[in-house]
Structure 1
Amino acid sequence: MHILLTGGTGLIGRQLCRLWLSQGHSLTVWSRKPEKVPTLCGAQVRGIARLEEIGQAPVDVLINLAGAPIADRLWTHRRKALLWSSRISLTETLLAWLESLEQKPRLMISGSAVGWYGDGGERELTEDSPPVSEDFASQLCIAWEETAQRAEALGMRVVLVRTGLVLSAEGGFLSRLRLPFKAGLGGPIGNGRQWMSWIHIDDQIALIDFLLHQNMASGPYNACAPKPVRNREFAKTLADVLHRPAFMPLPSFVLKVGLGELSLLLLGGQRVTPMRLLAAGFTFRFTDLRAALDDLSSRL
């Protein structure tokens, strides 16, 4: 199978490349720095700077994960424009290229996030739930999904992966918490009651591979463990795993002053259930937060 990836050099993309190389698939990564692709993704992975470089080799599946990190910097007008263009504009470029192909991929798996729902409060959210608020993160995910779904008009199946907080020792969410928690400065954010929908990186990779091989899969799938936790419980569990205290709460007003609109991402949350994955027969390896963090602790 020939698989084309965007975002292939990111945390999830790199691990997908390792898995699919081991399964014997042919992989191409569209990247701004194609010369780095073999080093980051595997020597047999081809990096391209332009989609036209693919040439005549038909693409069977398109994996669209590209997007600038949403929580790395303040949401200035310039940053918002970058977050938008790196997802929506890039996907529109993909659609224009797909339209030009005589033989189109049969499937697109496109990224999204549980932020699609907005701040859900105490509501339990499944794939059938509508967005409950429309902050910037929610608007971004909604527009990204709507753009990707336009590939259906080209005769392609489209799967949307609404990812929670990915737990990995190689980067992402935990890498930003590691230093303050190791220094004994970790603790809950705000009142600590907001829900956190998390997923171990191994389950994230496994579920994307699972969806790749489900011939009837389409539409949104919540990619998070079946047992979300409150922020206070997450902070306490991470501190316990690192053998540190967790008594330094970060007050809401400090976040609002320091981060502005971005603070909404940390003070809100989603209580998400992966209903469609469970119904399809996917088995999570990590359903308990403590077990997931214990598995990663030696590398943290």
Structure 2
Amino acid sequence: MKIVIAGGSGFIGEKCMEFFIQNGHEVIILTRNAKKHRSEKVAAVEWLNEGAKPEQELEGADVFINLAGVSLNAGRWSTHHKQQIYNSRIAATNELLRIISVLSKKPAVLINASAVGIYTVSLTERYTEKSAVVPNDFLGKTVQDWENASKRVKQYSVRTVFMRFGVVLGKEGSALTQMAMPYKFFAGGTVGSGEQWISWVHVKDVVRAIDFAIHNNRVQGPVNVTAPNPTKMKAFGKTIGLVLKRPHWLPVPSLALKIALGEKSKLVLQGQYVQPKVLEEEGFKFQFPTLEGALKDLLPL
């Protein structure tokens, strides 16, 4: 297959690129700096720059994967940074739709990144893809608008999948790096109340889920990409300590995180219990269904 990845140089994008190349597919990444990312194995096509016409090199593409957008983890959530997070996702999605609109042969599927942040934070709710979506904060509204923008590709009869990622765990460039760091210095402990849920997922299962959605025509619409066993923050921290053989003893108060991170502190102080019902019902098997197994594969970083 000919697979186009927008955001192919990011944390998840690089893992997808490696996976699809290893499986014999032709991979093209869309980037603002094509010279930097071009290699013998990967074609890099310039986009989102003045005068760029990526559609000229994308005819015949079977799959589009949209992972583009400013990282949520990069920097404090100032008003300016939040606008960058929002605008980068909407602009990239609009450009992908424009590209698809002018291709003579439309792709079979668009895999569009999304996030479990679309669900309202809760200590008691259990969310599936059928749960009502009533976002009431910046992240939730951003994700909802992102999905709504990508839905417009349906007018071209392109199957569309919204991959609602949980907290993606990996060796580099992921939230796990920051979460594990205090334990390396024997200073790890519960963050906030410890009762907040973390719907996590190993990056290898993220890539496998994307591949699964590409090949399974029954999969469309929202898909929760989270391991089947969400964990409370206190248990998450204790498991990091267990795997690293470090103590779990020094708590991090909510107020300290709010002062240090501002609104971004919600990413670790609040959460949702999210279940991957669509993947499970379609027969997807997680390689890392338990947190301890995932962390043993990833730690030490």
Q: CA deviation at 1:54?
A: 4.6
Q: Is the 8 A contact 1:27 1:46 kept in 2?
A: yes
Partners of 2:79 and 2:172 in 1: CA distance = 30
Q: Which amino acid aligns with 2:17?
A: C
Q: What residue number does 1:267 align with?
A: 269
Q: Which amino acid aligns with 2:32?
A: R
The question of 1:49 aligning with 2:50 is answered no
Give the SS at the match of 1:69: coil
Give the SS at the match of 1:28: strand
Q: What's the Cα RMSD here? A: 1.5
Residue of 229, 251, 254 corresponding to 2:253 = 251
Cα offsets for 1:240-274 (capped at 9, x unmatched): 11111121111111122222222222211010000
Q: Is the 8 A contact 1:197 1:271 kept in 2?
A: yes
* Residue identity (%): 37
Cα offsets for 1:204-227 (capped at 9, x unmatched): 111111111002221011001000
- State the TM-score, normalized to the length of structure 2: 0.94
Partners of 2:191 and 2:89 in 1: CA distance = 28
Structure 2 unmatched ranges of 5 or more: none
Give the SS at the match of 1:285: coil
Q: What residue number does 1:155 align with?
A: 157
Q: Which amino acid aligns with 1:21?
A: I
Q: Which amino acid aligns with 1:48?
A: V
Q: What residue number does 2:96 align with?
A: 94
Structure 1 unmatched ranges of 5 or more: none
Q: What residue number does 2:174 align with?
A: 172
Q: CA deviation at 1:5?
A: 0.6
Partners of 1:112 and 1:181 in 2: CA distance = 30
Partners of 1:255 and 1:169 in 2: CA distance = 23
Give the SS at the match of 2:19: helix
Q: What residue number does 2:21 align with?
A: 21
Residue of 121, 124, 130 corresponding to 1:122 = 124
Q: What residue number does 2:244 align with?
A: 242
Partners of 2:172 and 2:43 in 1: CA distance = 23
Partners of 2:297 and 2:266 in 1: CA distance = 30
Partners of 1:190 and 1:212 in 2: CA distance = 38
Q: Is the 8 A contact 1:120 1:132 kept in 2?
A: no
Q: Is the 8 A contact 2:198 2:272 kept in 1?
A: yes
Q: Is the 8 A contact 1:48 1:54 kept in 2?
A: no
Q: Which amino acid aligns with 2:10?
A: G
Instruction: Choose 144-153 or 177-186, whichever is displaced more.
Output: 177-186
Q: CA deviation at 1:133?
A: 4.2
Partners of 2:279 and 2:270 in 1: CA distance = 24
- State the TM-score, normalized to the length of structure 1: 0.94
The question of 1:193 aligning with 2:179 is answered no
Partners of 1:7 and 1:65 in 2: CA distance = 5
Q: Is the 8 A contact 1:119 1:132 kept in 2?
A: no
Partners of 1:178 and 1:36 in 2: CA distance = 31
Count matched residues. 296
Partners of 1:228 and 1:178 in 2: CA distance = 18
